[in-house]
Amino acid sequence: MKRLILLIFALMFFTAVQSQEVTSTTTESETVVLKSKRGINILPEAGEWGLGISANPFLNYAGNFFQGNSFNGSPTFSYVTNPANNVGLFGKYMIDANTAYRVRFNAGVGTQVDKAVVTQNEITPDVNYPAFTEDFRKTSSQTILLAAGYEKRRGKSRVQGVYGGEVVLGYTGGKQTYEYGNSVSQDFNAPITNNFGTNIISGTTAAAVSRVTEQKSGASYYAGVRGFIGIEYFIAPRVSIGGEFGYSLAFRSASRTLVTSERWDANSNTVKETKTDVGTPANYFTFVGVSLDNLSGAVNLLFYF
């Protein structure tokens, strides 16, 4: 049944493509205009916008479908991948039939909260009815990547070559903050604390002598230029499938990772806060180098409107 449904869709697609057989007309400037039998221009025109997504999920779905794989979830939209990590939104604006401005953008903000129940510190605890409290760890991260460029295309058929260059800018950072149900005090200078993994610097979960209250990951900044070349094949008016390769030259700057911890100071009879560099001791600047991207061979779908 599944093969029959897919065969019907394939026949519908083939019929649609055949019904859009190209005719060519030539203007006074010798520019070839490709049209379907219904008179619709196949290639994008000046003033139109384009949106790009990855075709891989759909191709994988079709392949699994024909192979009869039992696990064959429906395809989902994911976005075009390119240099300097993944770029979520890929858009174009056609200046004219052979030139376009392009932009790729990705902004990710994530927050995760972990909670743990621990025994509450009491001077006179009731062994029959112990009290409990909660420790929390909040992890947040931010990633921003922006690429803006200029694209040229050439070709007199459905197959169009694309090439050009772009500037890529990026930022990533994050931090972890901790809230403890048992505070550090004169009565409990080594309180019961849940071990989230790296938050107990010295002591044990039953008696944490020094523990982390905040850890800021070093912010990382990325800047580079990228040249690209690729192909688009227009399977229908304003709809193309293709891919591209790029060569990047980039630099990266990152700041230190800072850990803030707390412990009881018997000399001052107060809670003492300490800040410590972890990993990279100071800001640094790195030449990332020249590299070829997109070797995974991603196939992209582009829609113009």
CA distances from 207 to 107, 131, 234 (A): 41, 17, 67
Alpha-carbon distance of 90 to 85, in angstroms, equals 14
CA distance 251 to 203: 41
Strand positions, DSSP E, 29-74: 32-35, 49-54
Residuewise pLDDT in 10s, the chain (305 residues): 445 444 434 444 444 444 454 445 444 444 567 888 888 889 999 999 999 876 544 444 444 444 555 444 444 434 344 333 345 678 899 999 999 999 988 777 889 999 999 999 999 999 899 999 999 999 999 888 888 999 999 988 899 999 999 998 888 889 999 999 999 999 999 999 999 999 999 999 999 999 999 999 888 888 889 898 989 999 999 999 888 888 888 888 888 889 999 999 999 999 999 998 876 555 666 766 666 665 445 567 889 99
Specify burial of residue 89 (Cβ count, 10 A radius: 0-12, 13-18, 19+): middle
Distance between CA 55 and CA 97 in Å, rounded?
A: 24
47: left (phi over 0), alpha (psi -120 to 50) or beta: left
Assess contact for 114 and 136: CB atoms under 8 A. yes
Are 106 and 90 in contact by the 8 Å Cβ rule? The answer is no
Tell me if the pTM is above 0.85.
no
